[in-house]
A and B are shown apart, each in its own frame.
Chain A
Amino acid sequence: MATDATTNPTPHAKRRDFLYVAAGAVGAVAVGAAVWPLINQLSPDASVLALASVDFDLSSLAPGQVVTIKWRGQPIFIRHRTPEDIKSMEAVPLSELKDPVPDSDRVKQGHEQYLVMIGICTHLGCVPLFDQGMFRDGWFCPCHGSQYDASGRIRQGPAPLNLVIPPYKFVSDTKITIG
């Protein structure tokens, strides 16, 4: 009977089962090992990773001016903020923010006038436009209507997060290294 065969497998059938599972497992590992390099080749290559840091001299930037530079193929917004902007941004209560971060955490201490951000909307990656939205001296994404304030924080629209601050440091009073 078939039920007898499954409930009381002969030792022979047991060994055969083990061989099937073992061979299948080894086969799966081999296929995985063969596929991995095929997937891995998609990752950024060494020449892309080599462009990982850039320097920028801030002394040429007048108050109120904003420039866009390129870092790792992405636009970086560097803005020399006016004192009014800094004051108004520090005054915004955190409860009004979708991604609550105080203005002081968006800049380096002692260099509050310089705002350095990756100029890519956190929604779907478009480049926001300066001073075109509802927020004075803020950014507006033309793709899906996200609005950022003068501190680059998301205030309205589908984007979930504030504009990202890249890793950067002041190497002197007027010079930064991004990356």
Chain B
Amino acid sequence: MAEHQGSYTPSSPLGKWVDERLPIIRFTKEQLWDYPTPKNLNYWWTFGAILTAMLAIQIVTGIVLAMHYVPEASMAFDSVELIRRDVAGGRMLQAIHATGASMFFVAIYIHLFRGLYYGSYKAPREILWMLGVLLLLLTMAAAFFGYVLPWGQMSYWAATVITNIFAAIPVVGDPLLQLLRGGFAVDNPTLNRFFSLHYLTPFIIAAVVVLHIWALHVPGNNNPVGVDVKSSRDTVSFHPYFTMKDLFATIVFFIPFAWLVFFAPDLLGHPDNYIPANPLVTPPEIVPEWYFLPFYAILRSIDFSILFINSKLLGVIFFGGSILILFFVPWLDRSKVRSGTFRPLFKPFFWLFVLNFIMLTYLGAQPAQGIYVVLSKVGVAYYFAYFLIILPLLSRFEVPRPLPASISESVLTPARS
């Protein structure tokens, strides 16, 4: 960034007056317009902008939906149906918000796996990465609270199963469970507080996004070859080069989003959520939303005990550990080379990890019996082995391919594998 010093000179007396009091125009010009961006960023790097757009869409549609939604157990289900049938344009608003959650996770997972492949978590971007994992957790919480609000059977039983996870904690588990639910079972108090928290979390997410972008702008972007920016020849200004690239990618991303909203708003939902919540009957099969399936598969694959830890607590430990382990990736992968492109051994293990994640997604939707249980255990074993065994060992024994001298060189003479 040193090469791009503040290029803003106020052109009017008013501009100068504002700049001396609140340099907001200077800040925008330096951090958005002229922000030096590696010129080799590919389309995998557009998902940050896509996620920002999705967050904005969820907040805006959410605020207007809250003007019609009633967070009360006997009316919540009907109020969502009322939004879909009677509220002017409500069919679209509800579909955008519900489908938007799914598209949000599509973008999050691509963004996350891009970081894992290109080593974007490595020094000096550890805090940037950890803030990203925190954002993943917060988004999962927001999605979970939101899924409970329509108060259908899947909503109700998702709330029951997920709050029950906390009951696995020794000693404080049961009082904590009652505290979370505000009763002995999931009921109206639970719905009320989940609505409050669902409204709150997006604003916490927005605040952490600001920190995430701040942490990005200190070291600057990583890039597909993973070598540091060495001179101003390696970068171009963010605007118009990447504003346009991000805008184009966002529009392409909106095509499947729009298709779902217009033609298949319920495709990704579960039909049982059109049955109003009933505390006395569990649906024959409980399946979470698709974006939680890999973690759900991990949770229920643990049906054995280790020492004094029973199967329930152990499942919860694996479930939580599968996300928390991401915080430690910068210190598990010690390889000096960032980009997976130059790591011949890392590459097959990485793609196997992606396939394994997709397999766990599939298994999370299957009944917990027979071959599915065995495959889930294999999947869980590889998930953790990738982080705890493979990444640390690779960084010791792998011989990486030679890195290009600079970003410019890699662009002018593309390295073919």
Contact = CB atoms under 8 A, between A and B. Distances in A.
Partners in one complex: yes
Interface of A: 39, 42-45, 48, 68, 70, 72-75, 119, 122-129, 141-145, 157-160
A68 to B, nearest CB: 6
Contacts of A119: 280
A123 B189 contact: no
Interface in B290-319: 300, 302-303, 305, 310-313, 315
A160 B312 contact: yes
Contact of B160 (A48, A122, A126, A145): A126
Interface string B338-370: 000000000000000000000000000001110
B286 A73 contact: no
Contacts of B163: 125
Contacts of B189: 44-45, 48
Interface string B137-180: 00000000000000000000100110111010000000000111
B279 interface: yes
B255 to A, nearest CB: 36
Contacts of B286: 126, 142-143
B311 A160 contact: yes
Contacts of B220: none
B164 A124 contact: yes
Given A125-B161, A126-B157, A43 B184 contact: no
B282 interface: yes
Given A158-B303, A158-B312, A159-B312, A145 B182 contact: no
Contact of A144 (B180, B279, B305, B368): B368
Contact of B184 (A39, A72, A122): A72
B252 interface: no
17 contacts: A42-B182, A43-B178, A73-B186, A74-B185, A75-B280, A119-B280, A123-B312, A125-B164, A127-B280, A127-B282, A128-B282, A142-B284, A143-B286, A145-B368, A158-B302, A158-B315, A160-B312
Contacts of B315: 158
Given A73-B279, A124-B165, A126-B282, A48 B303 contact: no
Contacts of B240: none
Contacts of A157: 303
Taking residues whose C-beta sits less than 8 angstroms from the other chain, chain B's interface range is 35 or more
Contacts of A128: 282
Nearest to A146: B303
Given A75-B279, A122-B312, 17 more contacts: A42-B179, A44-B181, A48-B182, A48-B187, A48-B189, A74-B184, A75-B280, A123-B312, A125-B167, A126-B160, A127-B280, A129-B284, A141-B282, A143-B157, A144-B303, A158-B312, A158-B315
A70 B285 contact: no
B183 interface: yes
Please name the 10 residue pairs, one residue from A and one from B, whose CB atoms are nearest each other, closest first.
A73-B185, A125-B164, A160-B310, A72-B184, A127-B282, A126-B282, A158-B303, A124-B164, A145-B368, A124-B161
A151 to B, nearest CB: 20
B193 interface: yes
A68 B278 CA distance: 13
A167 to B, nearest CB: 13
Interface of B: 157, 160-161, 163-165, 167, 178-187, 189, 193, 279-286, 300, 302-303, 305, 310-313, 315, 367-369
B185 A72 contact: yes
Contacts, number: 95
Given A70-B279, A73-B279, A75-B279, A124 B182 contact: no
Contacts of A123: 164, 312
Contact of B193 (A42, A73, A129): A42
A159 B300 CA distance: 10
A63 B284 CA distance: 26
A145 B369 contact: yes
Nearest to A52: B184
A44 B182 CA distance: 4
A70 B179 contact: no
Contacts of A127: 280-282
A129 B369 CA distance: 17
B295 to A, nearest CB: 13
A121 B282 CA distance: 11
A72 B184 CA distance: 6
A48 B161 CA distance: 21
Contacts of B282: 126-129, 141-143
B319 to A, nearest CB: 11
B307 to A, nearest CB: 14
A178 B367 CA distance: 35
A19 B280 CA distance: 58
A48 B368 contact: no
B286 to A, nearest CB: 5
A145 B285 CA distance: 10
Could you say which of A68, A127, A145, A158 has the most chain B C-beta atoms within 10 Å of its C-beta? A158
Contacts of B161: 124-126, 143
B160 A44 contact: no
Contacts of A129: 282, 284
